[in-house]
Amino acid sequence: MATHDLGVLPAFDLDIPTLLDISREGGIGGRTRRYEKFAGDMGGVYRDGDAWRADVEARGSDRLVYWVDDHRYQEGPGALVVGTSTLLPGRVGDEFAFTRGHLHEVADRAELYYCLKGRGVLLLETIDGRSEAIELSPGKAVDVPGHWIHRSVNVGDEPFVTLFCYAADAGQNYAIIGDANGMKSLVVTDGAGGWTTVPNSDHRGYRA
Ligand SMILES: [Fe+2]
């Protein structure tokens, strides 16, 4: 799956306090990296592959679906990455638009997600089978402990923007979801303007 890395500045070591300019529309002043995901990058991640193909054929594979802006001025244990994630609204079949999701490579690393705009769900799962779906709206945050796989889902009709913060040495393991044939739960429309979760019958279980 392609990552479109539009790095703006090389990461460098800056050991002075830094004022960050966070946009509620998504984006951060002084970012060191942006990566973007397009509709065509999301093949195989939605359960309804036919709906994904039809969407890409109708609206193009080069349509931006989400992007992440990072501020990363230090490396190593103790340093933080701060940034924003902007996920556009939409559905593929019954599933609401989502980010790929990951477990941190250093699995015990926690993360904070604070909602700046929109209405979304943080879908959270553990390797041993626990699952949570927590709705976020502006002013709400989720403190994600280590060892939880996490994915943002946009269940509203405007961009879902979150501010995140995690340890700079955390890393991201995306393959754990692909190897399990998707997350255990799907966030889908409830048919009445809301959302609900249903089991993903294709899910094979996570392997540590
Ligand atoms: Fe993360």
**At residue 164, what are phi and psi to the nearest 5 degrees?**
-125, 160
Mean pLDDT of 94-98: 98
Higher pLDDT residue, 157 or 78? 157
Q: How far is the CA of 63 from the centre of ligand 1 (A)?
A: 24
6, pLDDT greater than 70: no
- The confidence band for 16, taking pLDDT boundaries of 50, 70 and 90, is confident
How far, in Å, are 5, 50, 106 from residue 46 at the CA level? 23, 9, 26
Per cent of the chain over pLDDT 70 is 93
In this prediction, residue 74 carries a pLDDT of: 84
Structure tokens at 95: 């599933």
Mean pLDDT of 125-130: 96
Residue 29 binned pLDDT confidence (cut-offs 50, 70, 90)? confident
Contact status, residue 80 vs residue 167, Cβ threshold 8 Å: yes
What distance in angstroms lies between residue 105's CA and the mean position of ligand 1's atoms? 9
pLDDT confidence bin for 33, thresholds 50/70/90: confident
CA of 24 to the centre of ligand 1 (A): 20
Share the mean pLDDT of the chain.
92
- Please state the φ and ψ torsions of residue 58, each to the nearest 5 degrees: -75, -40
pLDDT at 102 over 80: yes
Q: Distance between CA 94 and CA 14 in Å, rounded? A: 45
Cα 54 to ligand 1 centroid, rounded to whole Å: 30
Among the residue ranges 62-76, 144-158, 177-191, the one predicted with the least confidence is: 62-76
Q: How far does the centroid of ligand 1 lie from the alpha carbon of residue 104, in Å?
A: 6
Give me ligand 1 centre to Cα 100, in Å. Answer: 11
Whether the predicted pLDDT of 3 surpasses 80:
no
pLDDT value at residue 65: 97
Q: How would residue 13 be classed by pLDDT, with cut points 50, 70 and 90? A: low
Q: What percent of the chain has pLDDT over 90?
A: 83
CA 149 to ligand 1 center in whole angstroms: 8
For ion ligand 1, residues whose CB falls within 5 Å: 111
Residues 6 or more apart whose CB falls under 8 angstroms from that of 186 comprise: 47, 94, 95, 197, 198, 199, 200
Residues 6+ apart with CB under 8 A from 178: 44, 45
- For residue 42, the tally of other CB atoms under 10 A from its CB is 21
Strands 4-5 and 141-144, sheet pairing:
unpaired
The fourth-level CATH superfamily of domain 4-199 is Jelly Rolls (2.60.120.10)
Residue 1 predicted with pLDDT over 50: no
pLDDT of the residue at 46:
96
- Asked whether residue 14 carries a pLDDT value surpassing 90, the answer given is no
The Cα-based distances of 106 to 17, 159, 174 in angstroms read: 26, 30, 13
Task: Tell whether the model's pLDDT for residue 2 goes beyond 70.
Answer: no
Q: Do residues 89 and 156 make contact, with C-beta atoms less than 8 angstroms apart? A: yes
